[in-house]
Amino acid sequence: MMSKSLSRYPVLTLISWGIAGLVLLPLIGLGWGLLYPPAHPLIEQTASFVTLFQQSNAWRLLINTTLLALITSTLAGAIGLWFAWIEQRKQYPARQLLAILDLLPLAVPSYLIAATLRDSLGPGGLLSAWIQLPIFKGFIPAIIVLTLITVPYVHLLVSAALKNLSAQEEETAQCLGASSTKIFWQIIFPKLRPSFAFAWLIGLLYIISDFGAVAVLDTQVLTWRLYQAVDHQQLAKATLLGSVLLLLALSLLLIAKRVHGQQPPQSQIHNPKPTRRTTLTGGPLWLTYGLHLLVIGLGVVIPVIALAQWVLNGFIHQLHFAALWPPIADTLYVSVFSATLIVLLTLAPAWLVGRQYLSRTVEQLIYMTSSLPGILLAFGLLLWTLWIVDFLPNTNASYQWLLTSGILLFMGYAMRFMAEAYGGLKSAVMLYDPRLGETARILNSPRRRYVLQVMLPAFRPALGAAWLLVLLALIKELPVTLLLGGPMGIRTLSFRIFDRYQEAFLHDVGAAGLMLVMMSLTLVVITLRWRRHV
């Protein structure tokens, strides 16, 4: 298949394998760091990895990270499954509106939810009249915040699977006298198990990759301790922690691939019989409203109100606000440019794999790269840079140029969010009718005219949706920007929020946070409207 694509599309094939090969760069960097541990700039000799392993509490951090991921993903899986079930099978007041509002935490970055809840639930906070905690940080608060973020993923995936199930088997079981509980566990859930398991694993990967929430809540997990080690120039320690985090991420990726690959083949029902909705009453109804209140209230309403209150307090106390336009401009610059670049780069592998000209190994490498934690990708690229400059003339100047030119930043963005664009573009390629090209050749139509008047209109919805999804992810991105954008002088809204929160300038956090949430919500609305026409 490689030779077939190389002979027909040589440039696109080389681009595709080059993109897939990006995953090797941080792996090479970490491998080089393990073989030749970087010394601390203030210490001549580097401690052995055995000593570093003991000093860094790597085992405790690994256990904390794993427990956080398991507990949170299980809790989010239960809530997301319930939301999907009541959305598709039950009827109660405001069902459709609440189902949409449950997804809005996706538009609010985890670090903003963590920061606003930490302040609102603390002494003198927004909710201190009803709930006042002595401190809101650490392991349990991280579970709460990350659950709010991951519930929508389970809700979306399981709801889509439920929607495609036909009611025929359920109605037959009811006629035979089966109880509702037995029908769910013996008929419905086995069909939902692959989607639910995959959503659960996506939650696991997201949680071990999260940096913003655990940083704000000072949760002792691998991503936060890795950033602290890099920030303090403890590169050997950071290399060790990064390697442990990589092993954990790769283990989960292998499990995810195995679960996804073991999904039992199911006959596709083109016109599934809709299920008759039953009215939700009593205890389940109050439980449902309570869960809606928690997810929407803690995930969207309270963060927005808290951000507005911080801004208002700044005006009341006549505090100086840092200029907001520079981070807005930097956010738009890096996000728009990177989203456009990522979509253009993704076209090559999406076209070749979608038309079956290229091995799906490329696809698997793209998904693997984007599934690695952002802080790990960024640090791996830094180590790779340290390795590669040893082969270049004028090592120090070459290193500074690579850091400040933006090459590493845009490579990090591409690696982190390539999969966001790939899935939709590949689906569009697979749905595209190849007979249109044959018709154009029969009519001797110029290729440029065929591309502009036939192919481009056909792919425009998928291109637009992919671009918007990547743009939304880039606007909220934090760890890659912190490590690779700082040397360039890039100060995005996410950078401003994290930096000013560390310095306790909450009025600046509020202004930047409201602007970021406004931009994210706008993109979510545009994406939903766009998808109506896809």
pLDDT tens sequence across 87-112? 888 888 988 888 888 888 888 999 99
Kindly state whether residues 315 and 358 are assigned to the same domain.
no
Kindly state whether residues 169 and 220 are assigned to the same domain.
yes
- Our count of domains for the chain comes to 2
**Between 365 and 340, residue with greater pLDDT:** 340
Within 8 A by CB and 6+ apart from 394, the residues are: none
Q: Vertex 216, ends 213 and 220: CA angle to 5°?
A: 80
The pLDDT assigned to 6 comes to 59
Within 8 A by CB and 6+ apart from 169, the residues are: 187
The answer to the question of residue 524 being in a domain is: yes
Reply yes or no on whether the pLDDT at 270 is more than 50.
Answer: no
Phi, psi of 278 (to 5 degrees): -110, 155
Q: What is the DSSP string of 242-284?
A: HHHHHHHHHHHHHHHHHHHHTPPP----SSPPPPPPEE--HHH
Reply yes or no on whether the pLDDT at 41 is more than 60.
Answer: no
Kindly state whether residues 105 and 143 are assigned to the same domain.
yes
pLDDT winner (highest mean) among 12-16, 214-218, 229-233, 437-441: 214-218
The pLDDT assigned to 163 comes to 74
Q: What mean pLDDT value characterizes the chain?
A: 82
The answer to the question of residue 46 being in a domain is: no
Measured CA to CA, the distance from residue 477 to residue 416 in angstroms comes to: 10
The answer to the question of residue 507 being in a domain is: yes
The answer to the question of residue 21 being in a domain is: yes
The answer to the question of residue 42 being in a domain is: no
Q: What is the pTM of this model?
A: 0.85
Kindly state whether residues 441 and 526 are assigned to the same domain.
yes
pLDDT winner (highest mean) among 320-324, 346-350, 486-490: 320-324
Kindly state whether residues 19 and 119 are assigned to the same domain.
no
The pLDDT assigned to 195 comes to 74
Percent of the chain at pLDDT above 90?
32
CATH number of the domain where residue 146 is located: 1.10.3720.10
Element (H, E) at 283: helix 282-296
Kindly state whether residues 11 and 115 are assigned to the same domain.
no
Q: Looking at 284, 301, 319, which one is the last position of a domain?
A: 319
Q: Looking at 255, 285, 319, which one is the last position of a domain?
A: 319
The pLDDT assigned to 430 comes to 76
Percent of the chain at pLDDT above 70?
81
The pLDDT assigned to 42 comes to 44
Kindly state whether residues 131 and 158 are assigned to the same domain.
yes
The answer to the question of residue 43 being in a domain is: no
Reply yes or no on whether the pLDDT at 458 is more than 90.
Answer: no
pLDDT band at 46 (very low <50, low <70, confident <90, very high): low
Kindly state whether residues 193 and 292 are assigned to the same domain.
yes
pLDDT tens sequence across 285-314? 999 999 999 999 999 999 999 999 999 999
pLDDT band at 339 (very low <50, low <70, confident <90, very high): very high
Once rounded to an integer, what is the mean pLDDT over residues 121-143?
Answer: 79
pLDDT band at 140 (very low <50, low <70, confident <90, very high): very high
Kindly state whether residues 210 and 236 are assigned to the same domain.
yes
Measured CA to CA, the distance from residue 325 to residue 512 in angstroms comes to: 10
pLDDT winner (highest mean) among 46-50, 162-166, 334-338: 334-338
Kindly state whether residues 24 and 88 are assigned to the same domain.
no
Strand partners, 278: 90
Kindly state whether residues 343 and 261 are assigned to the same domain.
no
Kindly state whether residues 374 and 252 are assigned to the same domain.
no
Measured CA to CA, the distance from residue 338 to residue 357 in angstroms comes to: 27
The answer to the question of residue 44 being in a domain is: no
Q: Looking at 319, 353, 384, which one is the last position of a domain?
A: 319
The answer to the question of residue 197 being in a domain is: yes
| Domain encompassing residue 132 | 58-266+273-319
